[in-house]
Structure 1
Amino acid sequence: MARDLPPRARFEARHRPIASAIAALLLAAALTACAPETVPDPTSSPTVTATTAQPGPSSTPESPAEATLMPDGTAADNLPLFAAVTAAVWASEGRVTGRAYVDALAAAGFDKAAMQVTADQTTVGNPAESIQFAVRWGDECLVGQVGPATGNPVTVVVPVLAEGTCLVGQTRPIDW
């Protein structure tokens, strides 16, 4: 019966199982590459607190003057101030520059030495679609993301990465 098929169909019929096996192996390899290096303890999952700062008449984010830094508090305790500073900078002319967020957070009392920020521009000199900045707070991180691709600013509390940093990938030096 296979001989009754045209040459292309015979070839496909013979090699389909091999192609399927290769596709399955590639899928398994891709999924394995995305898997975490360590398996988290299922009895203790980290709590992620998220806020979205939406400046404008319909929102009521705390202003930096109303929110206060709590040096002995947790990252979650300091999230309202972090979010308020982020919203204030987003509403300013410096909204697309990472330095503006770092400077404003430092002025609000956050430790500049514990901060990270991504680049304002792409490697070809275009404005970045989003900028991320973070403050390490003990074993947690206050992380903000802003930019045209983000929409309204987003601020969250997340655990410190295994490397001891808050942001993945290359960040720019905060040397000012």
Structure 2
Amino acid sequence: MLRRSVSSPARAAGVLAVTSVSALLLSGCVPEPAPTASPSSSATPDADSTAPSAPVLVPDGSAEDNLPVFTATAEGIWATDQRGSGRAYIDALIGAGFDRESMQVTQDQTTVGNPAESLQFSVRWGQDECLVGQVGPSTGQVVTAVLPQLAEGRCLVGTTRPIDW
């Protein structure tokens, strides 16, 4: 059975008043429409702006300031099939802006011709610091550090390979 609601004009006015007040109050809760992109702006963010930027050489910075680019450069070579080549690290560091004349690198092979268990490379920085890297099977990863220079402005102990290429 259907039931019909009978309402008085006073009740209808009350419902209308409550509905109007509710609509007025809730209108402040409606979010603003999103602005549309202007013709000069892109609707999607630039892919490069969301990617972390690669570290860069800071020529006037300290060794500590340049450790991130030194490390990133070494990690880039470590991730390739050239990971056991001292020349690859030196060439990449030169490409990153480090000074060839300030570098040292150890031999890629032992005295009996086996691949070196550990390969070290360095960049002398300023008057008293060195950026030093070590890679190889003995470390299993790239290890870098800022260390004090040794006597005569050297960074690595022992005999190093001439960087003559």
Q: TM-score range by the shorter chain?
A: 0.5 to 0.7
Aligned match of 2:138? 149
Q: Which residue of 83, 91, 112 corresponds with 2:79?
A: 91
Q: TM-score, normalised by structure 2?
A: 0.67
The unaligned stretches of length 5 or more in structure 1 are: 1-62
Q: TM-score, normalised by structure 1?
A: 0.63
Deviation at 1:163, TM superposition (A): 2.8
The CA distance in 1 between the partners of 2:67 and 2:138, in whole Å, is 22
Aligned match of 1:7? none
Structure ID, larger Rg: 2
* Letter aligned with residue 86 of structure 1: A
* Letter aligned with residue 96 of structure 1: G
| Higher relative contact order (Cα pairs below 8 Å, separated by 6+ residues) | 1
Q: Which residue of 85, 109, 116 corresponds with 2:104?
A: 116
Deviation at 1:93, TM superposition (A): 1.2
Tell me which stretches of 4 or more aligned residues in structure 1 moved more than 2 Å: none
How does 1:68-107 map onto structure 2 within 5 Å? 68-107=56-95
The unaligned stretches of length 5 or more in structure 2 are: 1-51
Q: How many equivalent residue pairs?
A: 113
- Root-mean-square deviation (CA), in Å? 1.1
The CA distance in 2 between the partners of 1:116 and 1:162, in whole Å, is 14
The CA distance in 2 between the partners of 1:162 and 1:170, in whole Å, is 14
1:46-68 residue CA offsets vs partner (Å, 9 max, x unmatched): xxxxxxxxxxxxxxxxx8x6101
Aligned match of 2:151? 162
